Amino acid sequence: MEHDVKDLSLADAGKARIEWADRDMPVLASIRERFEVEKPLDGVRISACLHVTTETANLMRTLKAGGAEIVLAASNPLSTQDDVAAALVEHYGIRTYAIKGEDTETYYTHIDAAIEFKPQMTMDDGADVVGRIHADFPEALEHIIGGTEETTTGVIRLKAMAADGALKYPIVAVNDADTKHLFDNRYGTGQSTLDGVIRATNRLIAGRTVVVSGYGNCGRGIAERAEGHGANVIVLEVDPLRALEAVMDGYRVMPAVEAAAHCDIWITVTGDLNVIDVDSFAAMKDGAIICNSGHFNAEINIPRLREMSVSSREVRPLVEEFTFADGRTICLLADGRLVNLSCAEGHPASVMDMSFANQALCAEYMMANAASLEPGVYGVPVDIDKGISKLKLETLGVKIDTLTAEQEKYLASWEEGTC
């Protein structure tokens, strides 16, 4: 079986960790059991481009149980867990192309391997496979019936392609499921981003000023978790409504350049470009730590940071210290790549259980419905989303009330008013 991973001797360690994650992914496990019997993806070729983590491995096992043939490529050069990549090849028979720290050329060679597999379905995290197929491999479109997309940035790219009339097949925006973005983006990114910062730096968060750029689903989670560690949190936003929400949630809100003078730790999570730029570097507090948890490493203007500084050195793994002519230093984590996946292990399994249950069920949905879908970006069907929240509650042992017939009638009526 073709593959490109770092070291197959890591496979047993990877398998043990994959099984550990699986214990906290009961919804996905129940889907896998059904897929094993029903084989809804029988013989379907899927090219997946996802972060190669223990949770992703359990998704790959589920798709395979459903009968799919899969190639998996990394969706980020720094997020691969090499033991997991080895286990996928050695123990689970999944063609995997992913090496932590791979250069950009290798990253795209791996994506190209996934495209050369002639997929019928794509499963993307950031839309790099879809983008590359449309730009450089249009002949691959001939075999493709549909796809899924995992993250906010990928959905934004796909919607831009659809608006230009450039998108040539239907794709389900898994990110837009409530059981994905309200939990994965918020609680997953919140916890794992702080985890990444702490593992990389071993700095105490309590009493520090943490600046969070972007108060979307991810930013809210990061701000909450930083506050929980005892940080003074400053939120930066460009959307007045979200800025107002941050104010009402009790955070200080101000422009970036102003925050730069206060920040001990600055985390970007906007999906935008050059959110920390030259003016902020110039105003930044000595010793500040800067990092990114948004999808691409474009949120910090790293080329300009390199130009502005007089020297740089690695002070700890994945911690690069830049020194300016005036003696100030700034530490950049993980070369501006997703800090939670580069410096820690990404989201905990329990939350990926819901995200990847959506992926597995949307792959099944796509197989059953692609023929009737025009090219475009589609929401996750409500019954899939609601079904996952119901199942997740059950696995957590949480029971809730249901509407009585009288309440259902009342809520559906307009005749009754003030009593």
Ligand X SMILES: NC(=O)c1ccc[n+]([C@@H]2O[C@H](COP(=O)([O-])OP(=O)(O)OC[C@H]3O[C@@H](n4cnc5c(N)ncnc54)[C@H](O)[C@@H]3O)[C@@H](O)[C@H]2O)c1
Minimum distance from residue 42 beta carbon to ligand X (Å): 31
Q: Residue 173 and residue 159: Cα distance in Å, rounded? A: 10
Instruction: Write phi, then psi, for 11 (nearest 5 degrees).
Output: -60, -40
Q: Residue 221 and residue 226: Cα distance in Å, rounded? A: 9
3 state SS of 37: helix
Residue whose CB is less far from ligand X, 178 or 321: 178
CA atoms within 13 A on the CB side of 231: 29
Residue whose CB is less far from ligand X, 216 or 336: 216
Residues near ligand X (CB under 6 A) are 151-153, 181, 185, 189, 213-219, 236-239, 242, 269-272, 275, 293-295, 338, 340-341, 346
Q: Residue 392 and residue 345: Cα distance in Å, rounded? A: 22
How buried is residue 62: exposed, middle or buried, by Cβ count under 10 Å (0-12/13-18/19+)?
Answer: buried
Q: Residue 157 and residue 172: Cα distance in Å, rounded? A: 13
Structure tokens at 375: 């090219």
Minimum distance from residue 181 beta carbon to ligand X (Å): 6
Which amino acid, residue 373? Answer: L
Minimum distance from residue 277 beta carbon to ligand X (Å): 9
Minimum distance from residue 91 beta carbon to ligand X (Å): 26
Based on its alpha-carbon atoms, the radius of gyration of the chain, rounded to whole angstroms, reads: 22
Strand order in the sheet with 69-74: 95-97, 69-74, 45-50, 121-124, 146-149, 170-173, 376-378
Residue whose CB is less far from ligand X, 44 or 174: 174
Q: Residue 355 and residue 221: Cα distance in Å, rounded? A: 16
Are residues 70 and 1 in contact, defined by beta-carbon separation less than 8 angstroms? no
